[in-house]
Structure formats: structure tokens, C-alpha cells
A and B are shown apart, each in its own frame.
Chain A
Amino acid sequence: DAKTTQPPSMDCAEGRAANLPCNHSTISGNEYVYWYRQIHSQGPQYIIHGLKNNETNEMASLIITEDRKSSTLILPHATLRDTAVYYCIVRENDNTNAGKSTFGDGTTLTVKP
């Protein structure tokens, strides 16, 4: 799996958009970008994933650059409950790699009132 690079920490004001960057310059053509978050030592929670197109769901949006070497997770209106460690993961989406996610150290997002 390709390695990812994320800033160790970020702050965001409550109600504003939180933009979390991830660099994955060695990503290969069949690797997907996944985002998970971990709130206060709970088990990680899936947020969103994508291959090359931008994606949006009820939790967040994922913007992937055209060369796929980086991506940004956007929480459109951050709340205090979004304070968590956010992990960006890249892996192939096939049977041999299912269940094998490589987690880095993530970005600690602190949402402030």
C-alpha cells in the first residue's frame, strides 16, 4: 500500500469548514483513498472513500487532485463532536487487501467554540 503524509494537528472554529489534507504521492492506479476517524480512543469510524472522482456523503466531501497524488477531506460545518484523529489510508480495493488497512499517525483535528 502507498504511504500517506498528514499534518499532525489542525484547529478549526465551530461552524466553519474543516479541510484536512493528505499527501499520497506514490499512489498506484488501482488504489483507493479512504478516510477514517477515531474519536477519543474509540474504534475508528469510516467516513468516505474514492478512486479519482470527488465524492460526497452525509458526513463529508472528498476532493482528489487530478494526478491523484493528494486529497482533501472536507467537513463542511465542523462541530465540537468532530474533534478526533483523522486517518487517510490508501489501499487496493480487492480481495487480497480487504481488511488490511495501513494507518499512519493521522491528523488530530480540534474544533474550538
Chain B
Amino acid sequence: NAGVTQTPKFQVLKTGQSMTLQCAQDMNHEYMSWYRQDPGMGLRLIHYSVGAGITDQGEVPNGYNVSRSTTEDFPLRLLSAAPSQTSVYFCASSSTGGPGDTQYFGPGTRLTVL
């Protein structure tokens, strides 16, 4: 299993540009999440999904859109990039909500918005 994969690893955007961060998992996990991590801080939840076709907002959703058309993929779209969105973005997946459920994280995408 490749686990959770994210592309690209690095990206530089200009203010106002749009882009999609890709996330895929091959573990047949129902739950997927997007977090951002600013320098020296913990992760903050952007959006999450409990299954294909179902998404919901997390703590910091503004400026981001998500969709979940398949179990495997959970892309994060930046509609109009702003310097405040410069951050490291992590995607995570987990199998169930029951005891023993743990999250598996991808390697991250480092985004710089100029």
C-alpha cells in the first residue's frame, strides 16, 4: 500500500491564482481530512469527509473548496490564492470512527503564495 499520497510536494502561486491540491489513499478508508499547518503551530482542520459525496467544514474552511466523488480521492481547491494561505497542507485518512481508529497522514504539500 502506498498509504496517503499528496501532490504536488511544493507549489508557488501568485495572489489570485487558483489550484487544486491532490490527495489519494489506497486503504479504502471512509474518512478523509485536510489540515493546514502554519510555521511553529499545530495542525488546523480545513474540511473533512465521512464518505463519498459527503463533506463538511472544519475550523478554517474559508477560501477552500472540497469534493469527494470517490472513496480514494479528496482534492482541496484554492479558489483565489492569498498570501495568508501560505502554509503546509496535510491530508489524512482513517477507516472508521470506532475504537482503534487512527489517522494516517500524507507527506504534505508546501504552498507559498506571493
Interface size on A, residues (CB 8 A): 26
Bound together, the chains give a CA A66 to CA B11 distance in angstroms of 47
Q: What 1/0 flags go to A74-100 for Cβ under 8 Å of B?
A: 000000000000010000011111111
Interface centre among A46, A99, A105, by most chain B C-beta atoms within 10 angstroms, is A99
Interface residues of B in 55-114 (CB under 8 A from A): 58-59, 88, 90, 92-94, 96-108
Interface size on B, residues (CB 8 A): 35
Interface SS of chain A: loop
Contact A44-B45, Cβ < 8 Å, known A95-B96, A95-B97: no
Interface contact B88-A99, CB-CB below 8 Å: no
Q: Which B-chain residue is minimally distant from A104 (CB atoms)?
A: B42
Interface contact A93-B105, CB-CB below 8 Å: no
Q: Which residues of B contact A106 (CB under 8 A)?
A: 42
Interface contact B104-A99, CB-CB below 8 Å: no
Bound together, the chains give a CA A96 to CA B98 distance in angstroms of 10
A101 within 8 A of B: yes
Interface residues of B in 25-53 (CB under 8 A from A): 30-33, 35, 40-45, 48-50
Bound together, the chains give a CA A41 to CA B106 distance in angstroms of 11
Interface contact B45-A97, CB-CB below 8 Å: no
B4 within 8 A of A: yes
In the complex, besides A51-B99, A99-B50, A105-B42, 12 extra interface pairs with C-beta distance below 8 angstroms are: A32-B99, A42-B108, A43-B106, A44-B105, A46-B102, A93-B97, A98-B30, A98-B50, A98-B94, A99-B93, A104-B42, A105-B40
Contact surface of B with A, Cβ cutoff 8 Å? 4, 30-33, 35, 40-45, 48-50, 58-59, 88, 90, 92-94, 96-108
